[in-house]
């Protein structure tokens, strides 16, 4: 796989730290990127841009993953054409983004993202960074070389062209790819200050590729984790989904904890984890992430709402306990706890309402499952929310919570096809429900019939 790495990277001195005299070009016969493994739409875009006289390269994860013999998640293209020029070439193109305009070319459900070469911000003073060095604007067009140097990690700055099928490397990415090392382009401290999300990207790539993180990068992450608290909360939500729902959730989680980044994203969960009371939180979250990784590996769907229900379960469970001790009924206590936990979490990682409502439903259903093992169980079973709630109950069981009896009962009810046995189960379930503090059906108040005014005697 690495035949192309016989020697050429040795010409690149200093890895991603400093600019070199020129790029290393690896010809087609010395690397393993073949056109047959590039998506046909990405190829179409590359060829059309070239035919119109523009430079165009496959870049980023697409090239990195192909060189590693992995299947890329998506294909990103960088070009010398301006967004307007790209739009003119493709009818199915939409320009997006205000801060930096990107062209999205739509082919059915597939989108190819085309970005115009951008320059870094060196040499133009600090006008584009905030007081603490955060990049505010990132929208100056540049050359291919400038585009390479403003990228995050050396392994993400490799370019592939269909002109002569070469791979182009300005920053020493090929050597780092071979060494399995994530190295920052430029000074890690400065690059993390410009955009703290790069710390999460480091963790994500290390987890996904099994790469080690370069020592200087590690050091900078340990020092600057707190900067995550200044990042847009909506963007952090997107990043957490990439970290936990891309098939490498367990490894990402462990690295986030190792580098003390988890506490800046989920402070309350982190506090619970640190106490490790009965090992519940640790195990539940790990189990949830293990299950999620397995689902991704077998192409089954995964859900942000379920993930967040697991991520925040421990703070929610504890808070509900406080409300119960204040004599709130269990279901209400869980609702109040859900409100409170998400209200405190959202200033860090903003979970969109459509997901947080579902997470809270999963929690509330835990109470419903505990208290409705009697006659009303059949109705719960038929509701669309049952599945996620049941999966979550199983997770709690795996994590050692005391729900074995409930799991056994609901499991038996779901499997039982014989109506007579079902009836027996439902009767037995009444006892279990009472033990768990059954939800009493609300009594309907009988309306007293109004007295009609006496009719006047008919004459």
Would you please indicate which residues are annotated as catalytic (active-site) residues?
74, 76, 152
Distance between CA atoms of 355 and 400, rounded to whole angstroms?
Answer: 26
Q: How far is the CB of 432 from Mg ion (least distance, A)?
A: 50
Q: How far is the CB of 73 from Mg ion (least distance, A)?
A: 6
Q: Which two tokens stand for residue 57?
A: 């390269």
Residues in touch with Mg ion (CB under 5 A): 60-61, 74, 76
198: contact with ligand ATP by CB under 6 A: yes
157: contact with ligand ATP by CB under 6 A: yes
176: partner contacted, choices Mg ion, ligand ATP, none (Cβ within 5-8 A by kind): none
The SS3 of residue 24 is strand
- Spatial neighbors of 191 by CB under 8 A, at least 6 apart, are 152, 184, 185, 198
Q: Report the residue number whose CB is nearest to ligand ATP.
A: 61
121: contact with ligand ATP by CB under 6 A: no
Q: How far is the CB of 195 from ligand ATP (least distance, A)?
A: 5
156: contact with ligand ATP by CB under 6 A: yes
- Considering only 23, 61, 83, 374, the residue that binds ligand ATP (CB under 6 A) is 61
177: contact with ligand ATP by CB under 6 A: no
195: contact with ligand ATP by CB under 6 A: yes
CA dihedral 264, 268, 272, 275 (to 10 degrees): 60
- Identity of the residue, 61 or 315, whose beta carbon is nearer to ligand ATP in the bound complex: 61
146: contact with ligand ATP by CB under 6 A: no
176: contact with ligand ATP by CB under 6 A: no
Q: How far is the CB of 316 from Mg ion (least distance, A)?
A: 34
Q: How far is the CB of 97 from ligand ATP (least distance, A)?
A: 13
- Spatial neighbors of 115 by CB under 8 A, at least 6 apart, are 76, 77, 78, 79, 100, 102, 103
- Identity of the residue, 225 or 397, whose beta carbon is nearer to ligand ATP in the bound complex: 225
- Identity of the residue, 55 or 391, whose beta carbon is nearer to ligand ATP in the bound complex: 55
60: contact with ligand ATP by CB under 6 A: yes
Q: Are the C-beta atoms of 229 and 264 separated by less than 8 Å?
A: yes
Q: Are the C-beta atoms of 261 and 301 separated by less than 8 Å?
A: no
Sign of the dihedral through C-alpha 290, 295, 297, 301: negative
How many of the other CB atoms lie within 10 Å of CB of 301? 7
Distance between CA atoms of 265 and 225, rounded to whole angstroms?
Answer: 10
Q: Which stretch binds ligand ATP (CB under 6 A): 69-77, 126-134, 360-368, 430-438?
A: 69-77
Q: How far is the CB of 75 from ligand ATP (least distance, A)?
A: 9
| CA 363 to each of CA 70, 166, 321, 335: distance values in angstroms, whole numbers, following the listed order | 38, 53, 13, 8
Element (H, E) at 167: strand 167-169
- Considering only 46, 152, 272, 413, the residue that binds ligand ATP (CB under 6 A) is 152
What is the size of the binding site for ligand ATP (CB under 6 A)? 12
Q: β-strand 76-79 against 212-213: which pairing, if any?
A: unpaired
Helix locations, 259-352, DSSP H: 262-265, 267-275, 280-297, 304-311, 313-325, 330-345
Query: Using CB under 6 A as the criterion, which residues of the chain lie in contact with ligand ATP when the complex forms?
Result: 60-61, 73-74, 76, 151-152, 156-157, 195, 197-198
């Amino acid at each position: 796989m690495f035949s192309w790495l016989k020697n050429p990277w040795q010409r690149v001195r200093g890895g991603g730290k400093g600019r070199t005299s020129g790029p290393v070009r690896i010809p087609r016969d010395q690397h393993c990127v073949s056109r047959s493994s590039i998506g046909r739409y990405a190829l179409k875009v590359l060829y059309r841009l070239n035919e119109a006289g523009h430079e165009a390269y496959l870049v980023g994860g697409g090239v990195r993953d192909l060189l590693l013999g992995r299947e890329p998640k998506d294909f990103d293209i960088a070009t010398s054409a301006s967004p307007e020029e790209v739009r003119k070439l493709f009818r199915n193109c939409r320009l997006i983004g205000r801060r930096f305009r990107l062209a999205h070319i739509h082919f059915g459900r597939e989108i190819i993202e085309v970005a115009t070469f951008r320059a870094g911000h060196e040499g133009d003073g600090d006008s584009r960074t905030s007081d603490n060095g955060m990049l505010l604007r990132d929208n100056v067009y540049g050359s291919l070389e400038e585009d390479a140097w403003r990228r995050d990690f050396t392994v993400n700055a490799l370019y592939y062209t269909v002109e002569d099928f070469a791979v182009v490397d300005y920053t020493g990415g090929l050597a780092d790819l071979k060494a399995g090392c994530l190295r920052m382009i430029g000074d890690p401290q400065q690059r993390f200050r410009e955009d703290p999300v790069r710390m999460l990207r480091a963790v994500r790539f290390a987890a996904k590729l099994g790469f080690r993180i370069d020592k200087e990068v590690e050091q900078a992450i340990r020092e600057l984790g707190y900067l995550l608290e200044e990042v847009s909360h909506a963007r952090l939500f997107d990043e957490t989904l990439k970290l936990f729902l891309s098939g490498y959730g367990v490894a990402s989680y462990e690295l986030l904890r190792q580098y003390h980044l988890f506490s800046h994203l989920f402070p309350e969960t982190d506090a619970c984890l640190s106490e490790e009371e009965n090992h519940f939180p640790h195990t539940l979250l790990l189990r949830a992430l293990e299950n999620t990784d397995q689902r991704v590996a077998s192409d089954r769907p995964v859900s942000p709402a379920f993930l967040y229900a697991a991520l925040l379960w421990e703070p929610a469970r504890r808070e509900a306990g406080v409300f119960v001790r204040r004599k709130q009924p269990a279901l209400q206590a869980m609702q109040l706890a859900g409100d409170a936990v998400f209200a405190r979490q959202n200033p860090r990682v903003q979970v969109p309402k459509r997901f947080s409502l579902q997470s809270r439903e999963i929690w509330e259903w835990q109470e419903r499952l505990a208290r409705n093992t009697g006659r009303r169980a059949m109705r719960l079973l038929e509701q669309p929310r049952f599945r996620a709630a049941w999966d979550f109950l199983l997770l709690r069981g795996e994590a050692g919570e005391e729900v074995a009896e409930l799991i056994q009962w609901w499991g038996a009810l779901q499997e039982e096809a014989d109506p007579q046995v079902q009836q027996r189960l439902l009767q037995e379930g009444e006892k279990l429900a009472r033990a768990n503090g059954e939800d009493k059906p609300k009594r309907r108040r009988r309306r007293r019939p109004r007295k009609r005014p006496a009719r006047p005697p008919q004459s």
